[in-house]
């Protein structure tokens, strides 16, 4: 029998032999004016592997929701902040593997303006968010866990600068 990792999976096992599932989410960069530029509402959650990550709010569309409607709802559920979409920021794609399958995920991001609400995780029906915070747009590179989300924030910053 081959060598085993601590999690029980054989070393060298290829994930390309696992079935693939497609997932789609929508969310965004919700901004509010701050003493210096803009603050962005972000959430902390535990990933499927149990690691704490700071990320942009996002989630799966429900029913007949389009991506814009899903983004507005998910931002409010996960952060407590009601937002209004200003523009589309594009999509990111990534892959990850769970014990039974591979996941190909596409996330559609939007720039939103905060129009109401208060920071809270109490509206999150899935209880995925464990914390929420306003973080200055200029500090997000040091706080966000994922490079692809940092690229979305960079695009949001450029859109904001071009609009002012």
Per-residue pLDDT reduced to its tens digit, 114-153: 999 999 998 877 788 899 999 999 999 999 999 999 999 9
Confirm or reject CATH 3.40.710.10 for domain 25-163, answering yes or no. Answer: no
What are 52-77's pLDDT values in tens digits?
999 999 999 999 999 999 999 999 99
Contact at 8 Å (CB) between 53 and 147? no
Q: What angle do CA 115, 120, 121 make, to 5 degrees?
A: 125
- List the domain boundaries for the chain: 25-163
Q: If you average pLDDT over residues 20-33, what whole number do you get?
A: 96
DSSP helix/strand/coil, 32 = strand
Query: Which residue blocks in the chain are alpha helix, DSSP H?
Result: 67-79, 140-143, 147-163
CA distance readout (Å), 119 to 2, 3, 61, 130:
50, 47, 22, 12
pLDDT at 15 over 80: no
Residue-level pLDDT at 16 = 60
What is this structure's pTM? 0.84
């Amino acid at each position: 029998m081959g060598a085993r990792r601590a999690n029980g999976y054989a070393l060298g096992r290829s994930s390309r032999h696992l079935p693939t599932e497609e997932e789609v989410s929508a969310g965004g960069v919700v901004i509010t004016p701050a003493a210096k530029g803009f603050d962005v509402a972000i959430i902390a959650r535990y990933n499927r592997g149990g690691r704490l990550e700071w990320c942009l709010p996002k989630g799966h569309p429900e029913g007949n929701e389009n991506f814009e409607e899903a983004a507005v709802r998910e931002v409010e559920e996960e952060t407590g902040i009601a937002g209004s979409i200003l523009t589309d920021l594009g999509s990111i794609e990534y892959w990850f593997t769970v014990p039974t399958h591979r996941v190909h995920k596409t996330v559609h991001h939007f720039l939103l303006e905060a129009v109401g609400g208060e920071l809270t995780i109490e509206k999150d029906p899935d209880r995925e968010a464990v914390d929420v915070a306003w973080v200055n747009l200029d500090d997000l590179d040091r706080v966000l866990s994922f490079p692809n989300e940092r690229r979305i924030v960079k695009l949001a910053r450029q859109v904001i600068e071009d609009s002012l």
